[in-house]
Structure 1
Amino acid sequence: MSFEYTPPKYAQLIAELERRIDSGEYPPGSLLPSEHQLMAEFAMARPTVVKALGVLRDQGWIVTHQGKGRFVRGRPAIPTGQQVRAGRELLDRREVQASSRLLTAGEVEAPNRIAAYLGIKAKSSVVLRRTLVEHDNEPTEISSTWLPVEVAQGTALVESEELKQGVRRYVEAAAGTALDHIIEHITARNPTKEECTLLAVKSSAALLTVYAVACDATGKPWVVVESLLPGDRHELEDAYPIR
Structure 2
Amino acid sequence: MSFEYTPPKYAQLIAELERRIESGEYPPGSPLPSEHQLMAEFGMARPTVVKALGVLRDHGWIVTHQGKGRFVRGRPAIASTQQVRTGRELLDRREVQVSSRLLAAGPAEAPNRIASYLGIAPKSSVVLRKTLVTRDDEASEVSSTWVPADVAEGTALTDSADLKQGVRRYVEAAAGVELDHIVEHVTARNPTSEERDLLGVKASAALLAVYAVACDATGKPWIVVETVLPGDRHELEDAYPIR
Question: TM-score when scaled to structure 1?
Answer: 0.67
In 1, the alpha carbon distance for the partners of 2:81 and 2:115 equals 28
- Write out per-residue CA displacement over residues 43-84 of structure 1, whole angstroms, 9 at most, x where no aligned residue: xxxxxxxxxxxxxxxxxxxxxxxxxxxxxxxxx823557611
- Write out per-residue CA displacement over residues 151-183 of structure 1, whole angstroms, 9 at most, x where no aligned residue: 101111111211111101100001101100000
Q: What letter matches 2:213 in structure 1?
A: V
Instruction: Mark the runs of 5 or more structure 2 residues left unpaired by the alignment.
Output: 1-75
Poorly superposed stretches of 4+, deviation over 6 Å: none
Name the structure 2 match of 1:179: 179
Name the structure 2 match of 1:234: 234
Q: What letter matches 2:170 in structure 1?
A: Y
Question: What are the residue-to-residue correspondences of 1:153-168 with 2, within 5 Å?
Answer: 153-168=153-168
Tell me by how many angstroms 1:143 deviates: 0.6
- CA-atom RMSD, angstroms? 1.3
Residues 79 and 241, structure 1, Cα contact 8 Å, conserved in 2: no
In 2, the alpha carbon distance for the partners of 1:174 and 1:242 equals 37
Residues 184 and 210, structure 1, Cα contact 8 Å, conserved in 2: yes
Q: What letter matches 1:109 in structure 2?
A: E
Larger Rg: 2
Query: Residue 113 in 1 paired to residue 131 in 2?
Result: no
Name the structure 2 match of 1:83: 83
Name the structure 2 match of 1:33: none
Instruction: Mark the runs of 5 or more structure 1 residues left unpaired by the alignment.
Output: 1-75
Q: Do the aligned partners of residues 80 and 166 (structure 1) sit closer, same or farther apart at CA in structure 2, a change above 3 Å counting?
A: closer
Tell me by how many angstroms 1:225 deviates: 0.7
In 2, the alpha carbon distance for the partners of 1:131 and 1:82 equals 26
- Write out per-residue CA displacement over residues 70-109 of structure 1, whole angstroms, 9 at most, x where no aligned residue: xxxxxx8235576111000000000111100000001111
* Aligned residues between the structures: 168
Residues 83 and 239, structure 2, Cα contact 8 Å, conserved in 1: no
Name the structure 1 match of 2:217: 217
Could you say what secondary structure the match of 2:236 adopts?
A: coil
Q: What letter matches 1:155 in structure 2?
A: T
Residues 191 and 207, structure 2, Cα contact 8 Å, conserved in 1: yes
Could you say what secondary structure the match of 1:180 adopts?
A: strand
In 2, the alpha carbon distance for the partners of 1:114 and 1:184 equals 13
Tell me by how many angstroms 1:213 deviates: 0.2
Identity of aligned residues (%): 77
In 2, the alpha carbon distance for the partners of 1:112 and 1:210 equals 16
Tell me by how many angstroms 1:240 deviates: 1.2
Name the structure 1 match of 2:4: none
In 1, the alpha carbon distance for the partners of 2:214 and 2:164 equals 20
Question: TM-score when scaled to structure 2?
Answer: 0.67
In 1, the alpha carbon distance for the partners of 2:191 and 2:92 equals 26
